[in-house]
Structure 1
């Protein structure tokens, strides 16, 4: 039996738990009064049950959620949690289009999720640059890489960047191969995240999949991702240890096929 994920504090008022699938990270942002913003909770039903139980035992009240992007493993939820689940308007529209297929993907990988809770996202107002909740400030950093409507969060009080499915130590940059300019979108997103990190003096990075890193690790990951993109752009084979993972090598081949079209 695999161990249930548990929350570990990684920055002031910021806790993460690692799922057994894809080293996926759930992030909890905690207000001094116990209010909790949950970001990308997952992944299995048993894991969500464990996280809900632990949150209750710690006295956390989940009052809001945020999905960094509309892929199925980032739009999950638990019946014990309240409040809106925010996402960008583009992410909400994308999830509505793919919901039936995503429910099927979730059922095939981690069966038992309640379809009534799956992907029920609320669109942020177009002008919103923060999550509208009563807890610590969470700045929304919008971009177009990896998935429609992707957004990161910066927590200024914790000097922390929640990067969604970017800046992973385990995964190569995963392009949105359906986008008109997937490579250009990713280049621009890295620049956007780097600026946001500098503006808020970020010293902790939390990816959607992988491990929490410090400021030096953040810089290393940005540089590694740029080297990967540069190799793609120049038609060279990337020197990237992350490609030793078979499914990422397959994603790399898909990137090559898309860019040769």
Structure 2
């Protein structure tokens, strides 16, 4: 069910990798950030939104991975925004995203996957400040709602996912560090952090998320095994090894 985490900010979590669909009230109506994941969950989100009694005016995708490019006809035929870089990549890789959605989630309206347009310079209907960076994926963006004390972090600062470096792009360790610096600056003004996957962080836990990701990256740089409870999940061993390989390559 949709849960309110701050003024005009609601979250609905999927069973699939603890994915968070986020609803934000803007001046003109609701903006859906990274809605997902399966068809039944998208329908459930539509039911929740209907109960709010406020129209959906836009969508926003934090980055161009398939699970953040979904939509449902019940949300309406409204613009779905992203950074210019994200929108370009999503358009170029749309067929691949559709295949991955079909393989990983049931009932997803595949014809609506990845239909993004670049966010206008003034932010359009998307409230807050867009914090764009190069970590994890091309055109990744967080949304800082400083007036409400909320940071929507995309696939960063999760309590269940380690930092996931893009293995196809060099320099991701440094890019991730730079992104954390930018997010930390925004996090000084918030007491609620909503990651793309995992639990919502509140109060001191926001700083703890930043510290955990910094410690993980520091261990990668030093070539030592991180002390990180998130690595207790066996399925993260592959991404972790990929991160280690990229760190070794960067150091070499």
**Which category describes the TM-score, using the shorter chain as reference length?**
over 0.9
In the alignment, structure 1 residue 99 sits paired with structure 2 residue 99: no
RMSD of aligned residue pairs (Cα, Å): 1.4
In the alignment, structure 1 residue 117 sits paired with structure 2 residue 109: no
Of 112, 129, 150, the match for 1:160:
150
Deviation at 1:31, TM superposition (A): 4.1
Counterpart-to-counterpart distance in 2, 1:259 and 1:156: 33
Aligned to 1:132: 124
Contact 1:84 1:122 in 2 (8 A): yes
Contact 1:161 1:197 in 2 (8 A): yes
Contact 1:72 1:106 in 2 (8 A): yes
In the alignment, structure 1 residue 226 sits paired with structure 2 residue 186: no
Structure 2, unpaired ranges of 5+: none
Of 223, 228, 233, the match for 1:240:
228
Contact 2:86 2:139 in 1 (8 A): yes
In the alignment, structure 1 residue 27 sits paired with structure 2 residue 22: yes
Aligned to 2:237: 249
SS at match of 1:116: helix
Counterpart-to-counterpart distance in 1, 2:132 and 2:51: 34
SS at match of 1:226: helix
Of 34, 39, 50, the match for 2:33:
39
Could you say which structure has the higher helix fraction? 2
Counterpart-to-counterpart distance in 2, 1:58 and 1:32: 15
Of 9, 15, 19, the match for 2:10:
15
Counterparts of residues 178-257 of structure 1 (less than 5 Å) = 178-198=168-188, 201-257=189-245
Structure 1, unpaired ranges of 5+: 1-5
Contact 1:143 1:189 in 2 (8 A): yes
Counterpart-to-counterpart distance in 2, 1:257 and 1:157: 40
Counterpart-to-counterpart distance in 2, 1:60 and 1:248: 39
Counterparts of residues 68-87 of structure 1 (less than 5 Å) = 68-82=62-76, 83-87=78-82
Contact 1:167 1:221 in 2 (8 A): yes
* Per-residue CA distance 1:176-220 (angstroms, 9 max, x = gap): 11112110100000000001222xx11110000001111311100
Counterpart-to-counterpart distance in 2, 1:13 and 1:108: 34
Aligned to 2:134: 144
Aligned length: 248
Deviation at 1:32, TM superposition (A): 7.1
* Per-residue CA distance 1:156-191 (angstroms, 9 max, x = gap): 221100000000011111111111211010000000
Counterpart-to-counterpart distance in 1, 2:170 and 2:89: 15
Counterpart-to-counterpart distance in 2, 1:120 and 1:72: 11
SS at match of 1:22: helix
